[in-house]
Amino acid sequence: MTKPHNHPRRRPMAFGILCALLLSLIPLAPAAGQGVPEPRREQILNGLRILLVNRPGDPQVMLKLRIHSGAAFDIAGKEGLMALLTDALFDADSRRYVTEEIDGRYDVSTTYDSVTVTLAGRATDFGRLLELLRNAIINTQLTPELVNRVRDERIKAAHADAPTREALAERAVAARLFGVHPYGRPIVGSPESLARIEPADLMLTRERFLNPNNATLYISGAIDPMRVMRALRSSLGGWRKSDRIIPATFRQPEAPDLRTLLLDRAGAPEVTLRLAVRSLAEADRDRAALRVLAPIVSARWHAANPQLAGVKMTAYHDARREGGMFIMGASVAPASAAQVLESARKVLRDIAANGPSAAELDKARRLWLDAADNALTNSEANADAWLDGYTYDLASPNPAEIKRAVGALTPAEVQRVAARLFLNTPSAAVAVGEASKLREELARSGGVEVFGEAALKPEPAATPKPTPQSPALQLKRP
């Protein structure tokens, strides 16, 4: 029989009460109009990096822990393993305690490259939030009963989930582009892959990746950094570091199939299109150019299809550690599918050959910098930007560095990066819609493969029987 663990409220730790009392004594100062300051950087003996942002007057405190390994490390055939592990970090009692009893919030998210645990609440509840984080990470409950329950819940959700055409197209183009590489597998897995996961798989994953020297903790609010560091050493100092950090040693994917993959959705009034090429790793020296290439490509794609004014056509970059995706997407009438796909390919060829004008670059730069400035005034977005710097091993984790790099770009530099990405680069194309209306239309822009439809192989011609003549000589090898 599994021994139930105590509820955090009934078993408060001494350091938790002390932290709450100390934080409640910090004088409040007006915070209106203040931006997010650069965090103070610390590290405790087990290798855990700490980023502290003191925001006087902020009644809330936020703890955001980033594990710098994600679903890319799922065991082959057991996709969804890392996502399932994050489901097990907080049981129902802990979740209810955060949201109902201390009026806080929690969130756990998984990407291919990381896991992020967020806990937020009143500054006076800092100690309780820290205790919850400690229990989730250090005292993770992975009993067979718990694992079976969270696995069954996720399988049930996977069966009930009916993906939109957009989500289906995103998954399909990633699988088409990356094949068996981990980036081609779904982060959440499938009912079949989830059913193969055993408690031992979760324990091994937790042992390999949930370690302090593979993590960074960001804390912001009305905090006293010295007192918070004492609390962190007391609470998380016993978190055992790993002997080594598991590196990403994935085999590079094969070139994608150049045919357009057609996923049949009977009755769909529109076709959802995706065209994607493999892009640069987020730590690449040319990553700044990707920020402006997306809006430039999007604007040119719109201009190439004036008859589709008002239709959403977009281009964006999906950043990843080992190389992301540059994606173009639209939803159009079936009769326009081939033309829109072909115009997308032409836009990529043209930007690689000729580059952007100074006016195009200036407009794209302003758009991106304005969006970045707005995002970085938000405490949580600023935290994510700093944590991304450590996840992707950037030369400088400070998000101000990418802003400076974008501001210094020239049209020639953007063209060089566009040529690096798009010139003679195979692309993957996916269409989600009614196959009966799309098969011939898409064939105008190249080959088409209908998903799930076996290719019809011609029957081999019958070999005529030889006319009986004189007995054939039976030759034997010497």
- 169-222 pLDDT, tens digit per residue, is 999 999 999 999 999 999 999 999 999 999 999 999 999 999 999 999 999 999
Residue 253 falls inside a structural domain: no
Give how far Cα 244 sits from Cα of 48, 115, 126, 391, 394, Å.
14, 18, 31, 16, 20
The pLDDT of residue 462: 53
- pLDDT tens per residue, range 372-414: 998 888 889 999 999 999 999 998 899 999 999 999 999 999 9
Q: Are residues 229 and 349 in the same domain?
A: no
Q: Which two tokens stand for residue 271?
A: 């076709």
Pick the more confident residue, 4 or 452.
Answer: 452
Please check whether residues 220 and 331 belong to one and the same domain: no
Q: Is residue 245 part of a domain?
A: no
pLDDT at 153 over 90: yes
pLDDT level of residue 323 (50, 70, 90 thresholds): very high
- Total residue count of the chain as it appears in this document: 478
- Do 220 and 268 have their domain in common? no
Instruction: Tell me, yes or no, whether 78 lies in a domain.
Output: yes
Q: Which of 426, 421, 432, 429 is nearest to 296 (CA)?
A: 421
- 149 in a structural domain: yes
Across the range 242-258, mean pLDDT stands at 90
Q: Which of 309, 310, 341, 311 is nearest to 328 (CA)?
A: 341
Check whether residue 108 and residue 221 sit in a common domain.
Answer: yes
Instruction: Label residue 309 left, alpha or beta by phi (over 0 means left) and psi (-120 to 50 means alpha).
Output: beta
The owner of tokens 């707005």 is 374
Name the band, by pLDDT with cuts 50, 70 and 90, for residue 471.
very low
pLDDT in tens, 94-150: 999 999 999 999 999 999 999 999 999 999 999 999 999 999 999 998 999 999 999
Q: Are residues 225 and 264 in the same domain?
A: no
pLDDT at residue 10 tops 50: no
Task: Work out how many domains the chain is built from and give that number.
Answer: 2
With CA atoms as reference, report the closest residue to 67 among 54, 86, 51, 80: 86
> If you ran DSSP here, which 8-state letter would residue 457 be given?
P
Q: What percent of the chain has pLDDT over 70?
A: 87
Q: Do 280 and 420 lie in a common domain?
A: yes
Banded pLDDT at 236 (limits 50, 70, 90)? very high
How many Å apart are CA 195 and CA 24, to the nearest integer? 47
Same domain, 30 and 142: yes
Q: What is the DSSP string of 303-326?
A: HH-GGGTTS-EEEEEE--TT--EE
- Is residue 82 located within the same domain as residue 159? yes
For residues 95 and 151, give the distance between their C-alpha atoms in angstroms, rounded to a whole number: 18
pLDDT category at 247 given cuts 50, 70, 90 is confident
Question: What was the pLDDT predicted at 141?
Answer: 87
Strands 271-278 and 105-110, bridge-based pairing? unpaired
Q: Which two tokens stand for residue 247?
A: 């590196």
Q: How many angstroms separate the CA atoms of 427 and 275, rounded?
A: 7
Same domain? For 36 and 86 the reply is: yes
Torsion of CA 266, 271, 272, 275, to 10 degrees: 120
Q: Is the pLDDT of residue 7 over 70?
A: no
User: Helix H segments across 42-198?
Assistant: 81-87, 92-96, 126-138, 144-160, 165-178, 191-195
**Predicted confidence (pLDDT) at residue 349 exceeds the cutoff of 90:** yes
Phi, psi of 164 (to 5 degrees): -70, 165
Predicted local confidence at residue 445, as pLDDT: 84
Q: Which two tokens stand for residue 15?
A: 């350091």
| Structure token digits, residue 266 | 């009977």
The pLDDT assigned to 13 comes to: 44
- Which of residues 32 and 73 earns the better pLDDT score? 73
* pLDDT at site 23: 43
Domain assignment of residue 9, yes or no: no
**pLDDT at 464 (0 to 100):** 52
Q: How far is CA 226 from CA 5, 101, 230, 233, 388, in A?
A: 31, 28, 6, 11, 25
Residue 463's pLDDT band (cuts 50, 70, 90)? low
- Domain ranges, residue 200: 14-236
- CATH number where 276 lies: 3.30.830.10
- Closest of 379, 419, 415, 420 to residue 399, by C-alpha: 379
Each residue of 37-66: pLDDT tens digit?
Answer: 899 999 999 999 999 999 999 999 999 999
Work out the average pLDDT over 232-238.
96
Q: Are residues 54 and 118 both part of a single domain?
A: yes
Could you tell me if 210 and 288 lie in one domain? no
The mean pLDDT of the chain is 88
pLDDT at 376: 84
Would you state the pLDDT for residue 324? 92
Q: In angstroms, rounded to a whole number, what is the distance separating the alpha carbons of residues 424 and 440?
A: 26
Q: What is the dihedral of CA 344, 345, 346, 351, to 10 degrees?
A: 90
Domain limit, last residue, from 202, 236, 270 = 236
Do the domain assignments include residue 462? no
Please indicate whether residue 161 or residue 117 has the higher confidence score (pLDDT): 117
Distance between CA atoms of residues 223 and 109, nearest Å: 25
Query: 356 lies in a domain?
Result: yes
**Rounded Cα gap, residues 170 and 176, in angstroms:** 10
Is 298 part of a structural domain of the chain?
yes
Please check whether residues 162 and 74 belong to one and the same domain: yes
pLDDT at position 31: 36
What's the pLDDT tens digit per position in 408-453? 999 999 999 999 999 999 999 999 999 999 999 999 888 999 998 7
Query: Average of pLDDT values for 338-365?
Result: 97
Handedness of CA 100, 101, 104, 105 (dihedral sign): negative
Radius of gyration of the chain from its Cα atoms, rounded to whole angstroms: 27
With CA atoms as reference, report the closest residue to 421 among 284, 251, 258. Answer: 284
Question: Cα separation of 358 and 351, whole Å?
Answer: 13
